[in-house]
Amino acid sequence: MKKTITFSLIFIFSCVLLTAYLVKLYLQIPSDWTSEGIIKRELHSEKLVTKFHIDEKAIHPYSRELIMKGNIDGKGLLYIGVPETYVKMDTIQNEFEIKYHGDWYGDTCYVSFEPIDMTKGELLIDYKIHSSKK
């Protein structure tokens, strides 16, 4: 009887320790996720569409940060969003830098460049899409 009680107490104590350890591990799992990257594109006199996706581990995107910079030898239009319903448009020329931060709920974002009067240039897109796992 004494051995059974001792074994039961050790078992219960071990279960409590294991539960506490698992709770600690669970609380360390981040609920926020940031997908980020840098995309570099050469610009020419034809339209260019670039897209980027959230990380597969992220589930619910809620915002994005974009820094787009570069240079062109003339003028062009830069669109941000999704095709057919771009949410932002900027006219760019010569050396440019555009920062954009806003809500974003899709798993893919597009940047479209449409030349107006140019022959060559370069575009660098530094992006972050913030998501949650829950």
**CA atoms of 16 and 44, how far apart (whole Å):** 65
What is the pLDDT confidence band of residue 73, given thresholds at 50, 70 and 90? very high
**CA atoms of 134 and 105, how far apart (whole Å):** 14
Q: Return the ∠ at Cα 133 (arms to 127 and 134), rounded to 5°.
A: 135
pLDDT tens for residues 77-109? 999 888 878 888 899 999 999 999 888 888 788
Which residues make beta-bridge pairs with 41?
A: 123
Residues 6+ positions from 123 with CB-CB distance below 8 Å: 40, 41, 42, 43, 48, 50, 68, 69, 70, 78, 111, 113
pTM: 0.69
**CA atoms of 107 and 110, how far apart (whole Å):** 10
As a whole-number percent, the residues of the chain with pLDDT over 90 amount to 27
